[in-house]
Structure 1
Amino acid sequence: MAAAQARDRGSPFAENLGFLFLRLALGTIFVAHGAQKLFGWFGGPGYTATVQRFSTGLGIPPWLSVLVILTEFVGGILVILGVFTRLAAFALAVEMLVAGALVHARYGFFLNWENRPGVGHGVEMNLALLGMALLLLCAGPGQWALAGDTELALTRLAFRRPRPAARARTG
């Protein structure tokens, strides 16, 4: 049984390479979308238009719009670098849950491949990004991260099991 588990797990090199690819893909997607909202890059609306659109179209207060924009841009950078990966992954996962429920669920599951006017994208992409973020939240960034060992040590410290209290002897 142990040999089969070791064989299924793969090599540490392949595992860490997989985490690196995952971080690069997820982080790049969020940095690009954050840059659209923050700077207007890649054909995006930019900061002012994004905050206005979120406020008027979705009823999101400006402070929360800023939080969404920064979560995407800064969170994506942190994921790419492997610094505060679990915290960034948690924030990105929450954002995908909210965006999926608030914006995309009304359009169903699939993306709007034909770009039909008046029809948005379903939750398909949100679920994929959510799954990627949850994997990083649960497993961490892997060894090939700027804070790989440090983050692992902090996570172990934060989630260590408390030791049972010593029982007082009576009698």
Structure 2
Amino acid sequence: MKNVVKQLLKTNPNIGFGIARWTLGLVLFPHGAQKLLGLFGGYGYSATMESLTTQMGLPGIVAFSVIMLEFFGSMSLVLGFFSRFWALSLVGMFTGIIITTQLEHGFFMNWFGNQAGEGYEYSLLIIGLALSVVVNGSGPWSIDGFILKR
């Protein structure tokens, strides 16, 4: 068990991997804060759960997971705490988003409001950053790195 945790926390010391982790966490945090706390113009937990389950038809556990992953996952990524786990979870979530809601709208985001929905370019960027974290770990200046040193 100790070796599994050690492998999970193992990190590449290159600063670029820390930048990828911070960018991913900082970009996702406002989205999670909108969904859970109603910050940044969001609707908060209850309204988001209602929207995800009734309008989008997601099962309750999936809707709950989306909210928790975006909020707590983004904070954990910024701190570098179990980053590989959170990043891999984001890869799964955003792959699901692409398949279920964005693929039919093409590649480009809906910048001018002339599409029926959003394309998948943003989601691909999130997946790319997340895969970088999955492969390389938290990078320097992370809780994972601190735990590993002890």
2:29 to 28, 31, 38: 31
* Cα distance per residue 1:131-165 (max 9 Å; x no partner): 10011001101122122154599xxxxxxxxxxxx
TM-score (norm 2): 0.84
Amino acid at match of 2:56: L
Residue segments in structure 1 that go unaligned for 5+ positions in a row: 1-11, 154-171
Question: What is aligned with 1:135?
Answer: 132
Amino acid at match of 2:90: L
User: Do 1:36 and 1:44's aligned partners in 2 also have CA atoms closer than 8 Å?
Assistant: yes
Distance 1:81 1:126 in 2: 22
Residue segments in structure 2 that go unaligned for 5+ positions in a row: 1-11
Q: 2:113 matched to 1:115?
A: yes
Structure with greater Cα Rg: 1
CA RMSD in angstroms comes to 2.0
Q: After the TM superposition, list the runs of 4 or more consecutive aligned residues in structure 1 that deviate by more than 6 angstroms.
A: none
Percentage of identical aligned residues? 35
1:20 to 18, 21, 33: 18
Q: How does 1:11-90 map to 2 (within 5 A)?
A: 15-16=14-15, 18-90=16-88
Distance 1:111 1:60 in 2: 22
Q: 2:100 matched to 1:102?
A: yes
Q: Comparing 53-62 with 77-86, which one deviates more in the overlay?
A: 53-62
Distance 1:86 1:56 in 2: 32
* Cα distance per residue 1:40-95 (max 9 Å; x no partner): 11111221111111111221122221111000110111111111010011111111
Question: What is aligned with 2:122?
Answer: 125
Distance 1:39 1:103 in 2: 24
Q: Which has the higher contact order (CA 8 A, sep 6+)?
A: 2
User: Do 1:84 and 1:151's aligned partners in 2 also have CA atoms closer than 8 Å?
Assistant: no
Cα distance, 1:113–1:152 mapped onto 2, change above 3 Å:
farther
Give secondary structure in 2 for the equivalent of 1:47: helix
Distance 2:32 2:66 in 1: 8
